Chains A and B, each alone.
Chain A
């Protein structure tokens, strides 16, 4: 398939505008005017439409195929919620901030407030800010809130404790906020080693960041004890909500002892993820941290919503306007559609599906942490590696069979990890078909391991040289 630039033909245009016969009111200053063409492809409208339509047909998405990408919660995005977002698309995001604009934006502010309240109820937090634009941004906001909390109390804190099974963004966010990281290894029971955790704690620890269930898909049975220990050293507990899809309506992080939490609406609350995003990473906090929440903060006064903009203790604004508003409309619609009982069923079904896959595949793949899992399960291809077949090769096999591969080589603590998260929206038939293909991959690794080297063969491109792509990066089409 040619690039759109390669289809360019000098002088061809999609639209020809008539020459303007109206003089410009004020001519633009000469230094702002372009002296040469921008170098855009010269193509007709039809060329353009065909090019992008054909490109889109090469897309792989949850609307076309099963997408068991572990840690990402690639659930089906219900189409009904798209209609809801459309209802709000005419409103300018500045409206509530303009003089006299507030009263015309009551519906939108009300929606944000109601979404915040719903998320606070689901997580057991006092208040939620919906500003952060994605999960990592939520983490950054959460850590800044923790830092502001400690500073306001005159606490001298240097460290953030993170288990080695955490998402890589956890230590990254804490380091960005100026903390040093203490990593605690995973014990044989698949969770942060409790004794090593105790040893890592001191009065200088600002926070403990936990993902629960963790990246092995395991729920930490010591989670309340961990929060108690952290609190006894004056540290706060941060809950990475990336895996909330496993526990909705079963456990509220706030009830367990967590002080700050971020959520990924594009994971748990059914809004598009990845290239179809954008994301949204609301942050919930316990009462003691409410004064530090970002401004403008939406506050309910009587029957109307106002914006609290002046608050010297706040960490300030963390996003333009009110965050990714369209995503929040969809997430709110999703919560209303499912209701309390529906959300509970979401988690139950997600956990059941993951355990079904785990139980049926553990005969064929090594399962280094063999416990009942939550919303995802993590195998190791170590048995296949002995035949020379790596997790990457199995991933390529799955592509040829029409499946998006699971996450591979993550979490790092599992050798040749294959991390499968089916989500609740898949039927037993879909899971069975996927399991069958995974079994075929394991059998082929035994009978003909060399067959993997050439895969995939059904795609527009075959096996890519990932090493060369990373070592000699060249992302320009021409002229550089």
Chain B
């Protein structure tokens, strides 16, 4: 199952037509200890690259952008109680929302893992 990334360090994977979205291992590492995740309301319709959630760490507060357009059908409520899972398992347990993508062609605007790693290398 391919994982795609945005320049703003969100990841997305698609399984059975549902997209899981979170922030990358790199982003979680940069943020440091995460203390709060502001989740969007269920049913919210988001547009690709539009801000839809926010995350706070001891160092900073950052916006989270939608990697794909679609409707949010599930939010990870565990993050409200235990935001530390963003640091422990950013690309698995700490998925933030699941959404029904409205246009899978938008995947073309994202990076594959290899491309993302190259992108990160270029930022050093």
Contact = CB atoms under 8 A, between A and B. Distances in A.
Contacts of A474: none
A255 to B, nearest CB: 35
B44 interface: no
B35 A467 contact: yes
A471 B59 contact: no
Contact of A471 (B51, B60, B62, B83): B83
B60 A409 contact: yes
Q: What's the dominant secondary structure at chain A's contact region? A: mixed
Contacts of B56: 470
Interface residues on B, range: 10 to 19
Contacts of B36: 470
Interface string A382-417: 000000000000000000000000000110100000
B61 interface: yes
B35 A471 contact: yes
B35 A168 contact: no
Contacts of A31: none
A36 interface: no
Contacts of A409: 59-60
Contacts of A168: 61
A466 interface: yes
Contacts of B33: 466-467, 470-471
B100 interface: no
Interface in A409-427: 409-410, 412
B76 to A, nearest CB: 17
A168 B56 CA distance: 13
Contact of B35 (A181, A410, A412, A470): A470
Interface string A456-469: 00000000001100
Interface residues on A, range: under 10
Contact of B58 (A181, A410, A412, A470): A470
B84 interface: yes
A109 to B, nearest CB: 41
A467 B60 contact: no
Contacts of B60: 409-410, 412
Contacts of B83: 471
A382 to B, nearest CB: 10
A79 to B, nearest CB: 37
Contact of B84 (A410, A412, A471): A471
A470 B60 CA distance: 12
Interface in B24-40: 33, 35-36
A412 B63 CA distance: 13
Nearest to A408: B59
A470 B87 CA distance: 15
A466 B36 CA distance: 13
Nearest to A391: B59
A419 to B, nearest CB: 14
Contacts of B51: 181
Most buried by A among B33, B56, B62: B33
A410 B62 CA distance: 13
Contacts of A410: 60
A467 B58 contact: yes
Contacts of B35: 467, 470-471
Given A471-B35, A471-B83, A471-B84, A466 B61 contact: no
A229 to B, nearest CB: 23
B57 to A, nearest CB: 8
A198 B51 CA distance: 22
Interface in A441-478: 466-467, 470-471
A470 B34 CA distance: 9
Nearest to A412: B60
A117 to B, nearest CB: 38
Interface string B68-90: 00000000000000011000000
B4 to A, nearest CB: 21
Contacts of B58: 466-467, 470
A378 B33 CA distance: 23
A451 to B, nearest CB: 21
Most buried by A among B58, B61, B83: B58
B48 to A, nearest CB: 14
A45 to B, nearest CB: 41
A168 B54 CA distance: 14
Interface in B1-43: 33, 35-36
Contacts of A470: 33, 35-36, 56, 58
A467 B35 CA distance: 7
A466 B60 CA distance: 13
B56 to A, nearest CB: 8
A168 B51 CA distance: 15
Interface of A: 168, 181, 409-410, 412, 466-467, 470-471
Interface of B: 33, 35-36, 51, 56, 58-62, 83-84
21 contacts: A168-B61, A181-B51, A409-B59, A409-B60, A410-B60, A412-B60, A412-B62, A466-B33, A466-B58, A467-B33, A467-B35, A467-B58, A470-B33, A470-B35, A470-B36, A470-B56, A470-B58, A471-B33, A471-B35, A471-B83, A471-B84
Given A409-B60, A470-B58, 16 more contacts: A168-B61, A181-B51, A409-B59, A412-B62, A466-B33, A466-B58, A467-B33, A467-B35, A467-B58, A470-B33, A470-B35, A470-B36, A470-B56, A471-B33, A471-B35, A471-B84
